[in-house]
Amino acid sequence: MHILKKPHTLPSEITPQAVYAHRRNFLQLSAGLVIAGLLPDVQAKLGPGKASVFSTNEPLTSLKNVTSYNNFYEFGTAKEDPAEYAHTLRTKPWTVSIEGLVKRPRTLGMEDILKLAPLEERIYRLRCVEGWSMVIPWLGFPLASLLRQVEPLGSAKYVEFITALQPDTMPGIRRGVLDWPYTEGLRLDEAMHPLTIMAAGLYGDILPNQNGAPLRLVVPWKYGFKSGKSVVKIRFTDREPRTTWMKSSPSEYGFYSNVNPAVGHPRWSQANERRIGEFFKRKTLLFNGYADQVAQLYTELDLRKHF
Comparison of 152 and 185: residue with beta carbon closer to ligand MTE: 185
The binder of ligand MTE chosen from 128, 232, 234, 294 (CB under 6 A) = 128
Give 57: exposed, middle or buried? Use CB within 10 Å, 0-12, 13-18, 19+: exposed
In the complex, minimum distance from the CB of residue 99 to ligand MTE, in angstroms, rounded to a whole number: 19
Instruction: Give 307's strand partners.
Output: none
What's the angle, vertex CA 227, arms to CA 222 and CA 228, rounded to 5? Answer: 150
In the complex, minimum distance from the CB of residue 194 to ligand MTE, in angstroms, rounded to a whole number: 21
| Residue 124 makes contact with ligand MTE by CB under 6 A | no
**DSSP assignment of 63-123, as one string?**
HHHHHHS---GGG-SSTTHHHHHGGG---SS-EEEEEESBSS-EEEEHHHHHTSS--EEEE
The binder of ligand MTE chosen from 224, 241, 277, 289 (CB under 6 A) = 224
The binder of ligand MTE chosen from 209, 227, 260, 284 (CB under 6 A) = 227
Other beta carbons less than 10 A from residue 156's beta carbon: 19
- Binding to ligand MTE (CB under 6 A) within 242-301 occurs at none
- Binding to ligand MTE (CB under 6 A) within 185-214 occurs at 211-212
Comparison of 70 and 260: residue with beta carbon closer to ligand MTE: 70
- Binding to ligand MTE (CB under 6 A) within 57-116 occurs at 70-74
Helix H or strand E encompassing 293: helix 291-294
Comparison of 42 and 135: residue with beta carbon closer to ligand MTE: 135
| Residue 228 makes contact with ligand MTE by CB under 6 A | yes
> If we measure between CA atoms, which residue out of 255, 188, 193, 251 comes closest to residue 218?
193
Which residue sits closest to ligand MTE, CB atoms considered? Answer: 224
CB 62 within 8 A of CB 69: no
Give the largest Cα separation in the chain, rounded. 53
SS3 228: coil
Give 295: exposed, middle or buried? Use CB within 10 Å, 0-12, 13-18, 19+: middle
| Residue 161 makes contact with ligand MTE by CB under 6 A | no
Question: Quick one: which segment of 13-21, 147-155, 228-236, 293-301 binds ligand MTE (CB under 6 A)?
Answer: 228-236
> If we measure between CA atoms, which residue out of 134, 139, 150, 144 comes closest to residue 215?
139
In the complex, minimum distance from the CB of residue 30 to ligand MTE, in angstroms, rounded to a whole number: 21
Question: Quick one: which segment of 38-46, 52-60, 219-227, 270-278 binds ligand MTE (CB under 6 A)?
Answer: 219-227
The binder of ligand MTE chosen from 124, 203, 225, 287 (CB under 6 A) = 225
Question: Quick one: which segment of 7-15, 222-230, 235-243, 297-305 binds ligand MTE (CB under 6 A)?
Answer: 222-230
Number of residues that bind ligand MTE (CB under 6 A): 18
* Residues of this chain that bind ligand MTE (CB under 6 A): 1, 70-74, 126, 128, 163, 182, 211-212, 224-225, 227-230
